[in-house]
């Protein structure tokens, strides 16, 4: 179906807000924090005008708590923050994972730890997105690399949250969040939207957690006649706590399986000039933009480089990296951190040599810096 060409110049944070509105976002709760605040500012203006809810809460913890409450009542709910705020939200992210509450959490990454670099960029929250919550669980995390992609990946994040009843984290960064680019705004009829719907069973037959079926049970909005128990304790299919070992194991398995057994539906990635590459660059988010230019420079100099860009960073695209490493024996992982995704690449590398370019000074990694490292690796 052809899209209406509604083209605008937008900031990355603005594109996230616009994507949320297109996805049918009903509710935002948040707390101002650099460099994500524009998302809250824009939604504070737009949501009330269309009869939806914006709340500025007293802190980051309360913000996600309000989002979870709204989601349990059937709202498509989102919050936005940056590194220190995401640290404060971890308890509620764990609660959302255990209780299977769909929501979208935007992290416009900045340098850290602690207060770190409020106005500068980093990609240092990748592992936090997966492991910030204690206990075994799976998470979906998405890393857009452009303003246009920020809009469309926000829509996809809402769809995945509803479909798999899980928090979905969007990892942009200060660079993507604050740059301005051309964005094609889709008509709502031209994009797939997964809406919150009532279960297809009557209330007396509804089990909110159907672990053994292999299918995610739709979340029944509270107040619609479907009564069920919500707890952060390990629970059975009715939602009530249990200490039976088989129930516990089924519950733990389910939190992993519902994501990893559907990885083909969840994962998304891009390959750029990998067909004949001798050196593979693995890069994501804003850094992949510099990597693309560095590959063009390398090719002009006779060095066959290509790029693999994960868009869904969690679950990590193990199979794709493994397959590429079987034919490309030099892999360079470029990150604005001290080494995070490189660990995943090393885990999946099948005999390939893995090198890292890690710069965490708040500035973007430039094409020249990546090209210089490509030349170095090519001579090893």
- Three-state SS sequence of 106-134: EEEECECCCCCECCCCCCCCHHHHHHCCC
What is the Cα–Cα distance from 61 to 237, expressed in whole angstroms? 28
Question: pLDDT of 8-27, one tens digit each?
Answer: 999 999 999 999 999 999 99
**Which three-class secondary structure state does DSSP give residue 173?**
strand
Average pLDDT, the chain: 96
Q: What does the pLDDT average to over 230-255?
A: 94
| pLDDT surpasses 50 at 281 | yes
Q: Could you report the per-residue pLDDT of 169-221, keeping only the tens digit for each?
A: 999 999 999 999 999 999 888 999 999 999 999 999 998 998 877 889 999 99
State the distance between the two ends of the chain, measured CA to CA, in whole angstroms.
Answer: 49
Residue range(s) of every CATH 3.40.50.920 domain in the chain: 270-378
- Using the predicted structure, report yes or no on whether residue 75 has a pLDDT greater than 90: yes
Instruction: Give me the pLDDT at residue 210, please.
Output: 83
Asked if the model's pLDDT at residue 3 lies above 60, the reply is no
Percent of the chain at pLDDT > 70 equals 99
φ, ψ of residue 62 in degrees (nearest 5) = -65, -35
Assigned token pair, 293: 């230019």
Per-residue pLDDT at 1: 42
Q: Is the pLDDT of residue 4 over 80?
A: no
CATH topology for the 270-378 domain: Rossmann fold (3.40.50)
Beta bridge pairs of residue 140: 168
Q: Which residues contact 107 (CB under 8 A, 6 or more apart)?
A: 36, 80, 81, 82, 83, 86, 125, 129, 169, 170, 171, 172
* pLDDT of amino acid 2: 47
**CA 92 vs CA 89, 220, 240, 257, 303: distances in Å:** 6, 20, 19, 21, 47
For residue 315, cis peptide bond before it (omega within 30 degrees of 0): yes
Degrees, nearest 5: CA angle 254-259-264: 140
In the block, residue with structure tokens 């604005």: 336
Selection from 124, 182, 59 nearest residue 358 by Cα: 124
Listed range (6-10, 38-42, 209-213, 223-227) with the worst mean pLDDT: 209-213
Which part of the chain is CATH 3.40.50.970?
6-190
DSSP code for 221: P
The number of residues in the chain equals 380
| Rounded mean pLDDT, 34-38 | 98
153 has pLDDT over 80:
yes
Contact 137, 259 (CB under 8 A): no
Query: pLDDT, tens digit, for every residue of 104-123?
Result: 999 999 999 999 999 999 99
C-alpha pair distances (Å), 227 with each of 72, 220, 233, 240, 282: 12, 9, 18, 12, 47
Find out whether 266 and 259 touch, Cβ atoms under 8 Å.
Answer: yes
Distance (Å, whole) CA 246 – CA 249: 5
Residues 268, 30: Cα–Cα separation, whole Å = 28
Per DSSP bridges, beta strands 353-358 and 305-310 are unpaired
Q: CB within 8 A of 296, min separation 6: which ones? A: none
Fold category of 6-190 in CATH? Rossmann fold (3.40.50)
């Amino acid at each position: 179906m052809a899209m209406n060409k509604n083209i605008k110049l937008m900031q990355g944070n603005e594109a996230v807000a616009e994507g949320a509105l297109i996805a049918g976002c009903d509710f935002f709760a948040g707390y101002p924090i650099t460099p994500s605040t524009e998302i809250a500012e824009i939604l504070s203006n737009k949501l009330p005008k269309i009869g939806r809810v914006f709340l500025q809460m007293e802190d980051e913890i309360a913000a996600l708590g309000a989002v979870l409450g709204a989601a349990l009542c059937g709202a498509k709910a989102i919050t936005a923050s940056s590194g220190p705020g995401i640290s404060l939200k971890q308890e509620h992210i764990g609660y959302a994972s255990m209780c299977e509450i769909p929501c979208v959490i935007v992290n416009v990454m900045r340098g850290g730890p602690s207060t770190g670099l409020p106005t500068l960029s980093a990609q240092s929250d990748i592992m936090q997105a997966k492991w910030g919550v204690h206990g075994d669980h799976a998470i979906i995390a998405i890393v857009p690399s452009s303003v246009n992609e920020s809009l469309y990946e926000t829509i996809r994040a809402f769809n995945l949250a509803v479909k798999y009843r899980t928090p979905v984290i969007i990892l942009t960064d200060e660079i993507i969040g604050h740059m301005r680019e051309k964005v094609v705004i889709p008509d709502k009829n031209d994009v797939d939207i997964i809406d919150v719907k009532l279960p297809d069973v009557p209330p007396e037959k509804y089990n909110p957690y159907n672990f053994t079926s292999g299918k995610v049970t739709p979340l029944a909005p509270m107040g619609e006649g479907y009564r069920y128990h919500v707890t952060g304790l390990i629970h059975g299919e009715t939602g009530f706590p249990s200490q039976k070992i088989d129930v516990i194991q089924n519950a733990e398995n389910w939190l992993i399986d519902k994501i990893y057994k559907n990885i083909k539906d969840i994962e998304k990635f891009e390959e750029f000039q990998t067909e004949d590459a001798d050196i593979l660059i693995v890069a994501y988010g804003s850094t992949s933009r510099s990597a693309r230019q560095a590959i063009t420079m390398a090719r002009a100099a006779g060095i066959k480089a290509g790029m693999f860009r994960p868009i869904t960073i969690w679950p990590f695209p193990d199979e794709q990296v493994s397959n590429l490493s079987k034919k490309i024996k030099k892999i360079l992982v470029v990150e604005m951190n001290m080494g995070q995704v490189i660990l995943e690449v090393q885990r999946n590398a099948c005999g390939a040599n893995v090198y890292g370019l890690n710069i965490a000074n708040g500035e973007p990694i430039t094409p020249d810096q990546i090209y210089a490292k490509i030349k170095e690796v090519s001579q090893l």
